[in-house]
Amino acid sequence: MSSALADHIAGVRLVDNHVHGYWLTSGDRRRFENGLNEANIDPLADFDSGFDTQLGFAVRAHCAPLLGLPEHVDPQTYWERRRESTEDQLARVFLPAAGVSDWLVDTGLPGAIGGLAEMADVSGSAVGEIVRLEQIAEQAAAAAGDYADAFRRILHERTATAVATKTVLAYRGGFNGDLSEPDERAVDAAAARWRDAGGVRLADRVLLRFGVHEALRLGKPLQFHVGLGDRDCDLHRTNPLLLLDLLRQSGTTPIVLLHCYPYEREAGYLAQAFNNVYLDVGLSINHLGARAEAFVARTLELAPFRKILYSSDAFGPAELHYLGSALWRAAMAAVLTGFVARGQWSEPDAIRVVDLIGRANARRVYRL
């Protein structure tokens, strides 16, 4: 391997442009193994194990040494060593080791997980907040007075210090169908229906569309969950090509397509087609483990190199906050070394692309 490139990849400080908190409270092995499965919303079957996946193998390969264990140590030993520490102690091992200078944290997930302050504290790095539009919608519905006014007010309040917004439209009916901006009367009527229904999860398309267009108007980067997620979403309705009409009217607000598996090539096309569209690799890299290399290679097809971003999308086990970084570095090293070895890229270009994807693009997009 070309050592200047390898050394650079090993050392670059990353911006993790989409991440969640780590667990704050201890749990049993079942919780940990389920935490290694993204798509299933049931407990894993008795015959199965979260360790027998690419992610499980990657945890044992990359995280075991940070707990003083040999690479590829058996699951039982890994689990026993892990349980000797609190989740806070584990976070203090894994987060600093990720080599991340900035964590951009989606604070919209419930549960006993670390928030901005904990993330900054255990890692010693900077943090920024990403605000979920669907959470703002819930707050607006709970507020007094006009829904649209309340939404706009809360959006501006919460994003005064936040770096970006995010939508999980993928989980609320998907991307198919009309995504144009609704008129105020339609928003009023939909808000009244939703308030009357009392506390149901937001799935009204009018209100979802309203939120997206308010976020576009705000101008801060808007992240979309795309592709891989749990089975509550219809994966085929999260093909980012279904966003084409929306993207055509999205103006200059940066739109970040998160995760993207198995639509990373379609997302790369969109990143080439629109000046304001970006391609992120989070979540997919962790779950693909040894195959993260193939995924990273596919993201380096049509997407311009100034339009690709790194994230881990880690949530829960602190291992994942580190592993995203470790797998991305290994994948980039393998893929770019191959490009250089075959004479397609120069080594200085490869090093520059590492910096773009690893940190410079995110610093520009999020104005860090």
Q: Which of residues 90-129 bind its own copies (CB under 8 A)?
A: none
* Closer to its own copies by Cβ: residue 214 or 280: 280
CA-CA-CA-CA torsion for 174, 258, 139, 23, nearest 10 degrees? 120
Q: What is the x/- site pattern for its own copies, positions 41-80, by CB under 8 A?
A: xx-xx-xxx--xxx--xx--x---------xx--------
Q: Give residues 130-159 in contact with its own copies (rule: CB under 8 A).
A: none
* Closer to its own copies by Cβ: residue 48 or 183: 48
If one asks whether residue 355 binds its own copies (CB under 8 A), the answer comes out as no
User: Whole-number minimum distance, CB 186 to its own copies, in Å?
Assistant: 25
State which of residues 195, 231, 363, 367 lies at the interface with its own copies (CB under 8 A): 231
* Closer to its own copies by Cβ: residue 37 or 125: 37
The one-letter amino acid code at 130 reads I
Q: How far apart are CA 18 and CA 20, in angstroms?
A: 7
Q: Give residues 174-213 in contact with its own copies (rule: CB under 8 A).
A: none
* Closer to its own copies by Cβ: residue 47 or 200: 47
Q: Give residues 261-320 in contact with its own copies (rule: CB under 8 A).
A: 261-262, 265-266, 269-270, 272-276, 287-291, 293-295, 297-298, 300-302, 304-307
State which of residues 241, 249, 363, 367 lies at the interface with its own copies (CB under 8 A): 241
Tell me, by CB under 8 A, how many residues bind its own copies: 71
State which of residues 279, 345, 354, 362 lies at the interface with its own copies (CB under 8 A): 345
**Sign of the CA dihedral 327, 329, 334, 336?**
positive
Neighbours of 101 (CB within 10 A): 19
- b/e burial code for range 38-54 (CB count within 10 A of at least 16 → b): beeeeeeeeeeebbebb
Do 274 and 247 meet the contact criterion of CB atoms below 8 Å apart? yes
User: Whole-number minimum distance, CB 354 to its own copies, in Å?
Assistant: 13
191 CB contacts (<8 Å, ≥6 apart)?
140, 141, 147, 148, 207
Residue 238 has φ and ψ, to the nearest 5°, of: -110, 15
State which of residues 184, 189, 230, 363 lies at the interface with its own copies (CB under 8 A): 230
State which of residues 248, 249, 251, 367 lies at the interface with its own copies (CB under 8 A): 248
> 361 is written with which tokens?
């693009």
* Closer to its own copies by Cβ: residue 154 or 335: 335
Q: How far apart are CA 137 and CA 152, in angstroms?
A: 10
Q: Give the three-state DSSP class for 18.
A: strand
Sole window of 6-14, 178-186, 191-199, 233-241 interacting with its own copies (rule: CB under 8 A) = 233-241
Length, in residues, of the chain: 368
User: Whole-number minimum distance, CB 58 to its own copies, in Å?
Assistant: 7
Q: How far apart are CA 168 and CA 129, in angstroms?
A: 16
